[in-house]
Amino acid sequence: MTKKISVLVGSLRRASVARKIALNVIDMFPEGYEAEIVEIGDLPLYDFDYDDPAVTDKPTPESYTRFREQLKASDGVLFVTSENNRTIPACLKNAVDIGSKPNADVAWMNLPGGIISHSIGRMGGYSAHKNLRLALSYFAMPLTGQPEVFLGNSHDLIGEDGKLNNESTINFLKRYLDVFCKLVEDNPRDKA
Ligand SMILES: Cc1cc2nc3c(=O)[nH]c(=O)nc-3n(C[C@H](O)[C@H](O)[C@H](O)COP(=O)(O)O)c2cc1C
């Protein structure tokens, strides 16, 4: 059966390098996989009132339900993120929080995950990557270990055509996907 992978991009801007990397990586998945970007830009800021049965005049936003259902229907999730002020961009943390509730039905539960971080600087979004790993460690999520992917000087890795232009980066990402796909296959998920 086809494995579905949700790809979350930690940047909302149109020309985002993270989005370009994500689109390149989506094309690298082997046969038998269907990876697609799950949009997070329309998710209102997390407010527990939406999930609190005691609060009756603030219904759960439709976009929360759509996002949670998409995650729950996935066999794996791949985060591709930039770094804002040494941590993950707010849009991505918001998505992590929304997926974490309600407690009885956490969308992240048992969902195999991978992380690719990037930055315009040399450190490749190291802090964002590690902060995301920290947030995800709260859930029972199998995550890829080695290799960890930090793509530095990322603006130089993408050509005018939006494609990755560096053979060693492409090969590295393909090797990373092998590891990620093995994690997904080794951790089949009971989907709702
Ligand atoms: C608000 C803000 C904070 C940033 N903080 C960092 C940072 O902490 N570390 C870093 O390497 N780059 C930082 N940058 C630069 C980003 O790496 C660069 O803008 C990158 O292109 C953003 O990713 P995107 O192209 O996917 O949107 C920051 C950029 C913005 C707009």
More confident position, 190 or 106: 106
Mean pLDDT of 8-22: 98
Helix, strand, coil content of the chain in percent (nearest 5): 40, 15, 45
Please enumerate in sequence order all residues whose Cβ is within 8 A of that of 168, keeping only pairs 6 or more positions apart, or say none.
none
How many angstroms separate the CA atoms of 130 and 128, rounded? Answer: 6
99 alpha carbon – ligand 1 mean position (Å) = 24
Mutate to test the pocket of ligand 1, among 25, 37, 82 (most ligand atoms within 8 A of CB): 82
How many angstroms separate the CA atoms of 161 and 186, rounded? Answer: 36
Asked whether 119 lines ligand 1 (CB < 6 A), one says yes
Q: At residue 60, does pLDDT exceed 80? A: yes
Which domains are seen in the chain, by residue range?
A: 3-186 (3.40.50.360)
How many angstroms separate the CA atoms of 13 and 156, rounded? Answer: 18
User: 24-48: per-residue pLDDT in tens?
Assistant: 999 999 999 999 999 999 999 999 9
| Confidence label for 154 from pLDDT (cuts 50, 70 and 90) | very high
Residue nearest to atom 29 of ligand 1 (CA): 84
Q: At residue 192, does pLDDT exceed 60? A: no
Percent of the chain at pLDDT exceeding 70: 99
Please, what is the average pLDDT of the chain?
Answer: 97
Q: At residue 144, does pLDDT exceed 70? A: yes
Three-point CA angle 31, 36, 42, nearest 5°: 175
Please enumerate in sequence order all residues whose Cβ is within 8 A of that of 21, keeping only pairs 6 or more positions apart, or say none.
80, 116, 118, 151, 154, 157, 158, 164
Backbone angles phi, psi at 157, to 5 degrees: -90, -10
48 alpha carbon – ligand 1 mean position (Å) = 29
Q: What pLDDT is recorded for position 118?
A: 98
User: 67-82: per-residue pLDDT in tens?
Assistant: 999 999 999 999 999 9
Give the burial class of 179: count Cβ atoms within 10 A of its Cβ; 0-12 exposed, 13-18 middle, 19 or more buried: middle
Q: At residue 190, does pLDDT exceed 80? A: no
| Confidence label for 101 from pLDDT (cuts 50, 70 and 90) | very high
